[in-house]
Chain A
Amino acid sequence: MMGCPFYPGSRKPRPLAVDEFAGSWSGCRPAWAFVRCHGLCLWGSTKKKMLPSVIIYGLVNSVNLALIALGFSLTFGISGVANFAYGGFYILSGFLVWMLLNYLKFPFILAIVVTIGVVGLLGFAAYWIILLRVRGIPLSEVIATFALGVGILESFRWLGFVTYEFTLPYFKKGMVMIAGVPVDYQRLFMIGIGLALVLFLYFFTHYTRIGLAFRGIAQNERTAISLGIKSDWTAALSLALGSAMSSVAAIVILPLGIISINTGYEVLLVAVAVGIVGGLESVPGILVASLILGYAQIITGTYFKPEWMMVVYLAAIVLVLAIKPSGLFGKFKELEERV
């Protein structure tokens, strides 16, 4: 008897305590993790007391989204490659750190550095081995990265990485009170890393040779090539950079919950949603869109129903597509770039 052969298993409701709050499994993991881990009940307190926590956790959520979205957007903005394997690399980083910590007993710092390096290298290799051969054929590029991402994620699922023991450690346990709101160190750390990353990117793209090459290619590929900037190397490096950033994001964000394979698909979803809203090629766009979506989600979750947090993405995408399809800061270059 066949039953439904296409139930992929990715929709099974998760039997976590989270469900008691949400009533359903939602994709906004960090916020749920916060609710679960600290047992705070925002919806119980009065609305006035919630304002500082909304402000703070809105920021936390925004940084969270930005960390996820930047890697994808950078790769796309520099080389035009939409790295659909992004979610795969994210989860791969998480599992790699876990394996290094638990199987090889690496110290934490070493595990992190090795993972970021390895994943960056994998991104580079992915371009060089696969994408290079199909560069210029949009169909093949899209399918290749998409298949890679799905392959990575489903391989892990098949290998059995699906139980609850897969967690990454915090950097430092404990929390601190800010304006009467408890914030744990991990989240402060996340904000710090996010800011540091943005600053690093700014200096990198404005002051180093490789970074300037990135910007050159992003602005005008032909001219850049004629100036001696190697387009393929730059594209491969952009993929490496994007993947490495997904690693950083994974290492900082995954400790807030467990490493779940479905998060891989959601991360891609988030990166894409933020990118669509903000404009895929624009870093300021991503940052602004992260703030908007981050706060919109927290406000929805706090003042309305928590389940609706995910719907914010859908609403935002539909809105942006209807009004300004290329995104808030996106350049509507659709025709001009062709002549």
Chain B
Amino acid sequence: MQDKTFLRVEGLTKNFGGVAAIVRVSFSLQEGELLGVIGPNGSGKTTLVNLLTGFVRPDSGKVIYRGRDITGKMPYKIAELGIARTFQMVKPFYQLSAFKNLIIPLYSSRVKKLRGGKYGDRDDVAIDLLEDVGFERDSFVPYKVASSLPHGYLKRLELARCMALRPDLLILDELFSGMSMSEVASTLPIIEKLNAEGLTIIMVEHRLKELFRIAHRVIALNFGAKIADGPPREMMESEAVKAAYLGSEEEE
């Protein structure tokens, strides 16, 4: 019987020097799910994302995406298979204008294949993508140099960069960090819409309120290990999660 799980992670482990960053983490993901990943700082969330997307090679464990073993493959190969990710520390191409930042992922062979071998005009596609993530279309904002854009716009540029790839799995690493309330409020529906249209999403987040509103399921990490896995309501009531964030009573 064929494995229909969209993404399956088994026993992922990674040590950096003496520090255990990820300890035997396993979970699975169905197509179309929106999975949240939460945990206090240093719990290994970004490392997990790096392991999934090939930027870090695991010491042991497997990552199986749509039946293919992608453990330890090069990041560009993984991106080509349809997994796109944002970076927590946003680093656009500072000297280029916003829409030119998108030209590069649009140049990839994946996009070439998906569009049936024809490019169309990359500049136009880029402007469309920017509009989809909330850049005002008829303004000069898409043409501004990336270094002059405020942080919220840069975060949305990250999102647009991912969408340029037409991914099947989108991994957002703390997309909302550094965004103002209004920016979050305007970006959240975009993510919801993408998920409603069938895009599988993994969201690493600190802003639990927003995350719990849209996530189907949430896993929690602490010190590199998975401590909880379930729907948001369960998370809010879980003792383990509370202890991880707030500390347990014995410690006082």
| Chain A residues near B (Cβ < 8 Å) | 219, 335-336, 338-339
Contacts and interface: CB of A to CB of B under 8 A. Distances in A.
B75 interface: yes
B55 interface: yes
Query: Which applies to chain B's interface (DSSP): helix, strand, loop or mixed?
Result: loop
B56 interface: yes
Contacts of B17: 219
B41 to A, nearest CB: 15
Contacts of B75: 335
Given A335-B55, A336-B55, A336-B57, 9 more contacts: A219-B17, A335-B56, A335-B75, A336-B56, A338-B55, A339-B46, A339-B50, A339-B55, A339-B56
A335 B17 CA distance: 16
Nearest to B16: A336
Query: Which applies to chain A's interface (DSSP): helix, strand, loop or mixed?
Result: helix
Contacts of B55: 335-336, 338-339
Interface string B42-67: 00001000100001110000000000
Contacts of A219: 17
Nearest to A335: B55
Contacts of A336: 55-57
Contacts, number: 12
Interface of B: 17, 46, 50, 55-57, 75
A338 B56 CA distance: 10
A193 B50 CA distance: 46
A339 B55 CA distance: 7
Nearest to B88: A339
Contacts of B56: 335-336, 339
Nearest to B56: A336
Nearest to B74: A335
B57 to A, nearest CB: 8
A219, A336, A339 pick with most chain B CB within 10 angstroms: A339
A338 B75 CA distance: 13
A219 B50 CA distance: 20
A338 to B, nearest CB: 8
Nearest to A220: B17
Q: Which 8 A-B pairs have the closest CB atoms?
A: A339-B55, A339-B50, A336-B56, A335-B55, A339-B56, A335-B56, A335-B75, A336-B55
12 contacts: A219-B17, A335-B55, A335-B56, A335-B75, A336-B55, A336-B56, A336-B57, A338-B55, A339-B46, A339-B50, A339-B55, A339-B56
A339 to B, nearest CB: 5
Nearest to A338: B55
A83 B46 CA distance: 35
A336 B55 CA distance: 6
A335 B55 CA distance: 6
Contacts of B50: 339
Nearest to A219: B17
Contacts of A338: 55
A226 to B, nearest CB: 15
Nearest to B47: A339
